[in-house]
Structure 1
Amino acid sequence: MEAAQEYLKEQNEFDDNDEPSSLPYNSPFRSTRLHIQRSNVCSRAYFVVVMVFFHVYILNVIALLLYVHYNNGPGDLVSGDGGSSAADSDSGKSLPHPAPSSRELHVEDYSQSFSLPRIEGIRVGHVQRVSLVPDKTHEMKTLSLKPLLFEIPGFLSEEECRVVVQLAQLKGLMDSQATASSQEQEESNQPLLSLSTEEVFSLLDLNQDGLLQKQEIVSHSHSQDGTWLSPDNLRQILTGLESCPTGMLTLGDFRHVYDVSQHPGQEKSGKLHSQFKQRSKHTWLFQGPGSHHVLRTLRNRVTSLTRLPSALVELSEPLQVIRYEHGDFSNSHYDSSPSNSETTCAHTRLAGNTSALTEVPCRYLTVLFYLTSVEEGGEVTFPVADNRTYEEQALVQDGVDLTDTQETCSRGNLRIKPTAGTVLLWYNHLSDGRGWMGELDEYSLHGDCPVRRGVKWVANSWINVDPDYQQQARYQRVVAQRHQAKSGMDYQSLSHSDLHQDL
């Protein structure tokens, strides 16, 4: 018994004092505790990584949205551009268009920021569907890429064509003024103004002191006549004046300078280049509030087709309607003008540069309406359309000037026969690469072939844009201020109904 008790006592002392004996017993608990701690560390690291990736993803999404917003902008309609997606047009689906507004203009229309979307041509012969009127789609065919030119059959109904022609007849048509040769003046029933050098000098010499100062010449730069002092004439005269030590021109000095200004193209080169000639009758039809509903409808349809901001379209020129009778024509010309420090756009004259030498038309694009079909002749010709390169020398072939449509109309690269209801749209300017209007597109040179049989009625809708974005913005603000100050004033007095009468 005592031996047993002593044995138990030794065992208890061994259990209390021998630490290694406790390790095997406690190791499972400690192992489990260490495992739990490692699992917590991994969970926290995983949570941090997930959160970092989540925040990076959110930041990327926000950055993408900001990029899209600031590149397209609230007024940029490129995303809705029917020509911007070949897939959409090839699929045969009708492209959506913003519904045109028939409301009158409000001040906020002029203060908005906008860009100039362009329809993409894709390739010559490409057809894309556009929705311009309810329950109907039109096919828009690319005729040329240089210039960017489209044809839309059935743009106007037969009734709309008839109404526009009748309104032009009621308004009354005037002879189109253009330069003509002496022989043509004798043949024409409406001879153009012809002045001698001495008579021009006397007209310019306002104070009749026998000397011409710069102010006297510049004061005539806004003349709408254009038959005796063109922008080229004016530029040549001023160049000659600035070369004089006295800064003034005597009659003898002026005679030499004016003779040179009458033939600027021949002075620079020996190439043959005919002066612009035209024979037709035209008038202007206002399209703003109070005008015939057909005219307002056509303006809204042009806004929808071009995807341009409505303010630009509404503040552009009135609709020009032209009648070409047998033998009538127009030589090849540009509808717009190249930007120049010596000129200012006619449509922004309210906020224009008063020191500019002359006003010129600034037309971003042209929409031409065929109002009648023509039995023979009367085509619109683009003599250098889709040439590989543009060279002015190429306009003269075998001693014949291709811009002379009376003689060489059949030799143009592209001719479009008049068909009632068809519309042609082309861009007169290239893009500047930043969403605004760039340089004049030299390939937009075009003219009207002589009418051989029948009568040709067409209408031109020009969209005016100043190449200087800030100048255009200032003009819009001026119009807005005047519109606000004279809210009871007829809108026609704020539009361009009195502009471009003889351009």
Structure 2
Amino acid sequence: MKMCSYLRNILLLVLLNEIHLHTAHGQLSDDYTGHSNADSDENAFDPHNLLKYYATSQTTKEEEVYVFPPLSRLDPGDVGTIVSVELSPGRWFDRITRAVKPPIFEIPDFLSDEECDHIINSAARNGLGTSQIYGEDNEPDPNTQDIFRVSQQTWLNRNNLGGMFLDNLQNKLSTLLNLSKEIIKGSESMQVVNYLPNGHYHAHLDSTRNTGNKPCCFQSSCPTPPGPECCRICRYATVLYFLNNVDGGGETAFPLADADENTMTRFLEGGNLAHQWRNLSNFCHNSSVVIGPKRGTAIMWYSHLMEAETNYLGEIDDYSYHGGCDVTKGTKWIANNWINAATYNERFVKSIWVD
């Protein structure tokens, strides 16, 4: 980059010298003087035009450089704080703070009954398969016989949900999170998950740690679905929707939310204690934040910190461990919108999900 700047400066000096020499001999062009000269040679060298061309070409190149939009972060206030927000024209919703570390918000009636039914029916038409887990942090504990994740899932995009429905939802998400629509539209497709009795998902992280300097999957050319050996998951925030009322169980739990530093240290060291808080089949209600499934309610939280110096994706927030408690009766439907974001060093790379 320094060499390019050096060569550019040399070229400018040469051009300015040519302008000086031609000016001394009265050879200024019509384009520069603004006067017509019938005796001038149309093919004569005009350094001013060349200089203007150079400057214009540089401006064009600079304008063509893509930069991923910077992030923002909602202030949670204190636990129990309620903020009224207009998420669509004339429609106001309560945003309730459920935790501060990480910021966790509950938004009742975020989706209407009709919107919930539309998502469930779209998922059923698309077909569901066995849910998978991704990343070393989310592997089952070898000390337990429980299956780490028991559910079925599918992915829905514009073709499944319809353009108008998805546009309206993405506009609400952009307003809710105070993030650029470009970030929302460049994020992963919606995931829909169905849990039958005894279905659950033990405490996990939504992102994978930055080991080995792997690129974010949403900015990479890795195969679909990508593997952890190729890229890492970069989900700045999660918006989870409860799509139905569950007859029994099915809560979403955050075992470490607002925990003190000593508790975090003990829990993350591993061993029996770590096994207990991650196993939500047995220890769901030991969690510091437990939110029951209510149709239409959305839960939003941050899985990463935001770098204060750059306003780009920071480190994973270990307070964001969460999971789905066992369904004890009936069935449970949820959907997830994960908001992907770039690090400062990867800010010049576009999402693969946008043109």
TM-score range, shorter chain: 0.7 to 0.9
Question: Post-superposition shift, 1:231?
Answer: 5.5
Return closer, same or farther for 1:347/1:148 CA change in 2, 3 Å cut-off: same
SS of the residue 1:359 aligns to = coil
Q: Structure 2 matches for 1:468-479, cutoff 5 A?
A: 469-475=344-350
Question: 1:419: which partner in 2?
Answer: 294
SS of the residue 2:219 aligns to = helix
Q: Structure 2 matches for 1:39-438, cutoff 5 A?
A: 111=66, 114-178=69-133, 277-287=148-158, 291-350=162-221, 357-389=229-261, 391-394=264-267, 401-434=276-309, 435-438=311-314
* Number of matched pairs: 285
Counterpart-to-counterpart distance in 2, 1:290 and 1:128: 30
Question: Post-superposition shift, 1:475?
Answer: 2.7
One-letter amino acid of the counterpart of residue 474, structure 1? V
Question: Post-superposition shift, 1:357?
Answer: 4.2
Return closer, same or farther for 1:276/1:342 CA change in 2, 3 Å cut-off: farther
Contact 1:123 1:142 survives alignment (8 Å): yes
SS of the residue 1:299 aligns to = helix
Q: Which has the larger radius of gyration?
A: 1
Identity of aligned residues (%): 31
Contact 2:312 2:342 survives alignment (8 Å): no
Counterpart-to-counterpart distance in 1, 2:205 and 2:144: 14
Question: 1:98: which partner in 2?
Answer: none
Counterpart-to-counterpart distance in 1, 2:244 and 2:161: 26
Question: Post-superposition shift, 1:328?
Answer: 0.4
Return closer, same or farther for 1:375/1:383 CA change in 2, 3 Å cut-off: same
Contact 2:267 2:273 survives alignment (8 Å): no
One-letter amino acid of the counterpart of residue 78, structure 2? R
Question: Post-superposition shift, 1:470?
Answer: 3.5
Question: Post-superposition shift, 1:414?
Answer: 1.1
1:461 aligns with one of 334, 337, 340:
337
Question: Post-superposition shift, 1:279?
Answer: 0.5
Contact 2:108 2:297 survives alignment (8 Å): yes
Q: CA RMSD in A?
A: 3.2
SS of the residue 1:457 aligns to = strand
Contact 2:68 2:349 survives alignment (8 Å): no
SS of the residue 1:425 aligns to = strand
Counterpart-to-counterpart distance in 1, 2:273 and 2:211: 33
Extract unaligned runs of 5+ from structure 2. 1-62, 223-227
Question: Post-superposition shift, 1:410?
Answer: 1.8
Question: Post-superposition shift, 1:433?
Answer: 1.1
Return closer, same or farther for 1:292/1:169 CA change in 2, 3 Å cut-off: farther
Extract unaligned runs of 5+ from structure 1. 1-107, 179-225, 233-261, 267-271, 480-493, 497-503
Q: Deviations over 1:321-377 (max 9, x none)?
A: 0011111000100001222234221111049xxxx9431211000000111111210
Q: Deviations over 1:170-227 (max 9, x none)?
A: 111111134xxxxxxxxxxxxxxxxxxxxxxxxxxxxxxxxxxxxxxxxxxxxxxx6x
Identify the structure with the greater helix proportion.
Answer: 1
SS of the residue 1:331 aligns to = strand
Return closer, same or farther for 1:399/1:110 CA change in 2, 3 Å cut-off: closer
One-letter amino acid of the counterpart of residue 430, structure 1? L
Return closer, same or farther for 1:340/1:273 CA change in 2, 3 Å cut-off: farther
Question: Post-superposition shift, 1:156?
Answer: 0.6
Counterpart-to-counterpart distance in 2, 1:290 and 1:394: 40
Higher relative contact order (CA 8 A, sep 6+): 2
Counterpart-to-counterpart distance in 1, 2:338 and 2:240: 9
SS of the residue 2:105 aligns to = strand
Question: Post-superposition shift, 1:465?
Answer: 1.2
